[in-house]
A and B are shown apart, each in its own frame.
Chain A
């Protein structure tokens, strides 16, 4: 297969690490945005090669087993690299407009570009690492990078949002560290303290049935609460709408589209171990409970939102709850549905944020009441927002419908009691979401500000892919989902 796996992985991680350093050094030169795009493109190419390699040659571990790739994480690496690239494409015209309007200056642009790449690097490390400790460290690093991004505008609101995000996620992730310590403690009793093998996921996975069940169940509670804070599980979701609303829109797109997924991935890796040790549905039930509650909180909060970005922030909470519920049910069908939903939610939600970003710039306000008649003012933007909203609300033929349908039918078979709750939540979310978006898209056009040149390509590429996944899942991708679902058990 040509290049070794180490080289391929360096191609994935390298561009973002080097990009972060270079963009930090050169500051706000003329080509900073282009360098950002180039680094993201290289990451995407590296991820594509790595994915091809894993499909061809199977899972592999490297760098002294500290890193590994298997169907589950390589799928998320590819998705992360893809959304990272399209977000970089979108952020170039978006931020140029912000600079022209005097909302950002050169120093902030340097911070933005450098932290964007640092964030990508942290997330790719979190996804590819085999070591649960390094997973924790890179999750924390991703938090720190995004805190700086959320507070980029330095308005009182954005500082409040970033502080809340920092403190809540800091506390959450400290709980997760305690969980990791307990996991290490349980593993050390089986594997011995020699070397650092006791935190390597592949080693733990091999001996998971010998791990002490009591310790693992306590550890899982801490891990779920800790990483769950970052996933946005209610009642720990408070930071999420604020961070989405106050940060620059490209950051909202990567928060919703990528960071939540990576945090959920961390929970899933731990859940696999706990399931193996416990031989009961403890972890699954806990996730289902959190998931259901989160879906309800997210759905019922939608109707009360006045800010368009908060609206879609709550929508992300709702969808993460749904995905958590799917993985909580477990089994091949539910895990398949969960993975599919993760993919389409990432694609559609980041696409929506691209459209929302330009719409807010055109109108000059993020208040839902101020945005009117987008279809007349800018048909391309109006349609992308409308289609995106229909897709995320679960209208066929988009992929979200397919995965929600799969989740509901699986729930019908295995946990019929939950179906009415889910249907009510999805119905409420649909009604509230559609009403708000229709109000923004239709009606008489409000006066628009000049100088906004929307980048429609990323939006339509994302929506197109979500549409494709709703109509037809390529057999390779389906096989891949099946393999990943198998890993999750």
Chain B
């Protein structure tokens, strides 16, 4: 935490903006963890993408790393517009019930989440101290976002929230990439984006199969049914 505090005074405006984005990212991650409704979950996911896009753009503007503009554009198209739209359409066509059941109750999940954030900050501290980027203090937050998305995937029993968790994890990873290194080489970002896109298509196909076979998108039903057969 020391590294984080010492960067605060005299931080340039861009740096402060990025820290703000990081804080919002973390807040959204927690909001997703506590959200019961699928439509709000998808909206939060789109919002997280938008914040990621904004912070990438700020880094691109303030450091002159041109390829980050492309990265921001990919994020905007893919994570803010396309994926939430696809998810929303899927949910509509499958007429998923609105309430999301969680396996562990929400207050407990939040407490576990706070524990994860502390772990993430501790793991990231030695890395943050070494980083020379203006965004270095956000590495811990990026890792925390990844872990929180992971937690969401474990605690949800429905297929759609698990997928939102999966995509949100990818958001955290992209955020880690921009905050630690000003972004990965372009080839890699394109490759990752492509994989996410194809993954989404496969997920979509799967929703229909699960729906067709189990009349439900609850993974617990899938597991029980498979066990009984």
| A residues adjacent to B (C-beta < 8 A) | 66, 131, 133-134, 136-137, 140-141, 144, 147-148, 151, 154-157, 159-160, 162-163, 166-167, 170-171, 174, 177-178, 180-182, 184-185, 188-189, 193, 196, 198-199, 212, 214-215, 218
Report chain A residues within 8 Å CB of B127.
182, 185, 214-215, 218
Contact, CB under 8 Å: B202 / A171: no
Q: Is B78 interfacial (CB 8 A cutoff)?
A: no
CA distance A251 to B177 in the complex (A): 34
- Can you show 24 pairs from A to B with CB atoms below 8 A apart? A131-B187, A133-B184, A133-B185, A137-B194, A141-B195, A147-B202, A151-B209, A154-B213, A160-B222, A160-B223, A160-B225, A166-B202, A166-B206, A171-B169, A174-B146, A181-B177, A184-B177, A184-B181, A185-B131, A188-B181, A189-B130, A196-B185, A196-B187, A198-B185
| A148–B123 CA distance with the chains assembled, in angstroms | 36
| A181/B184 in contact, CB under 8 A | yes
Nearest A residue to B173 via CB reads A177
- Cβ 8 A contact of A156, one of B170, B192, B202, B222: B222
Judge if B53 is at the interface, Cβ distance under 8 Å: no
> Closest residue of chain B to A186, judged by CB?
B130
Flag whether B51 is at the interface (Cβ < 8 A): no
Q: Is B83 an interface residue (CB 8 A)?
A: no
B131 nearest in chain A by CB position: A185
Q: Point out residues on B near A: beta carbons under 8 Å.
A: 123, 126-127, 130-132, 143, 146, 150, 153, 159, 162, 166, 169-170, 173, 176-177, 180-182, 184-188, 191-192, 194-195, 198-199, 202-203, 206, 209-210, 213-214, 219, 222-223, 225-226, 229
Indicate if the CB atoms of A163 and B225 lie closer than 8 Å.
no
Give the shortest distance, in Å, between B140 (CB) and chain A (any CB): 12
B123 partner residues in chain A, CB cutoff 8 A: 218
Known contacts A193-B181, A199-B184; decide if A159 and B173 are in contact (CB<8 Å).
no
Known: A163-B159, A163-B219, A189-B132. A199 touches B195 (CB 8 A): no
Is A215 within 8 A of B143, CB to CB?
no
Q: Which residue of B lies closest to A133 (CB)?
A: B188
| 19 extra interface residue pairs, beta carbon distance < 8 Å, beyond A156-B229, A171-B150 | A133-B187, A141-B195, A155-B213, A156-B213, A156-B225, A160-B222, A163-B210, A166-B206, A167-B162, A167-B166, A174-B150, A174-B166, A174-B173, A177-B173, A181-B181, A181-B184, A196-B187, A196-B188, A215-B130
* Residue of B131, B206, B229 touching A162 (CB-CB under 8 A): B206
The minimal Cβ–Cβ distance linking A218 to chain B, given in whole angstroms, is 6
Which residues of chain B are near A166, meaning CB under 8 Å?
202-203, 206
Question: A193 contacts which chain B residues (CB < 8 A)?
Answer: 181-182
Instruction: Please name all residues of chain B whose beta carbon is closer than 8 Å to the beta carbon of A144 when the two chains form the complex.
Output: 195, 198-199, 202
Give the CA-CA distance A420 to B216 in the complex, in Å.
49
Question: Which residues of B have CB within 8 Å of A156?
Answer: 213-214, 222, 225-226, 229
Q: How far is the CA of A74 from the CA of B159 in the complex (A)?
A: 40
Separation of A458 and B58 alpha carbons in the complex (Å): 58
A167 to B213 alpha-carbon distance, docked (Å): 19
From A132, which residue of chain B is reached at the shortest CB distance? B188
Q: Which residue of B lies closest to A199 (CB)?
A: B185
Instruction: With CB as the reference atom, state the residue of chain A lying closest to B162.
Output: A167
**Residue of A66, A160, A178, A198 touching B173 (CB-CB under 8 A):** A178
A185:B181 contact, CB within 8 angstroms: yes
Which chain A residues border B214 with CB–CB below 8 Å?
156
By a CB distance below 8 angstroms, the chain A residues around B222 are 156, 159-160, 163
With a CB–CB cut-off of 8 A, which chain B residues contact A180? 184
**Cβ contact within 8 Å between B143 and A178:** yes
What distance in Å separates the Cβ of A482 from its nearest Cβ neighbour in chain B? Answer: 33
**How far does the alpha carbon of A171 sit from the alpha carbon of B148 in the complex, in Å?**
12
Asked if residues B191 and A134 are in contact (CB atoms below 8 Å), the reply is yes
Q: Given the known A-B contacts A133-B185, A144-B199, are A181 and B173 also in contact in the complex, defined by CB atoms under 8 Å?
A: yes
Given the complex of chains A and B, what is the CA–CA distance between A94 and B143 in angstroms? 46
A180 to B229 CA separation, bound complex (whole angstroms): 41
- For residue A147, which residue of chain B has the nearest CB? B202
With A178-B173, A182-B180, A193-B182 as contacts: A157 and B229 at CB distance below 8 Å:
yes
Q: Considering the complex, give the chain B residue whose CB is closest to the CB of A196.
A: B185
Q: Nearest Cβ distance between residue B122 and chain A, in whole angstroms?
A: 11
Q: Which residue of A lies closest to B212 (CB)?
A: A154
Residue numbers in A under 8 Å from B170 (CB-CB): 174
In the docked arrangement, what's the CA distance between A181 and B198, Å? 21
| Nearest residue, chain B, Cβ from A157 | B226
> Residues of A contacting B188 with CB < 8 Å?
131, 133-134, 136-137, 196, 199
Q: How far is the CB of B59 from chain A (nearest CB, A)?
A: 13
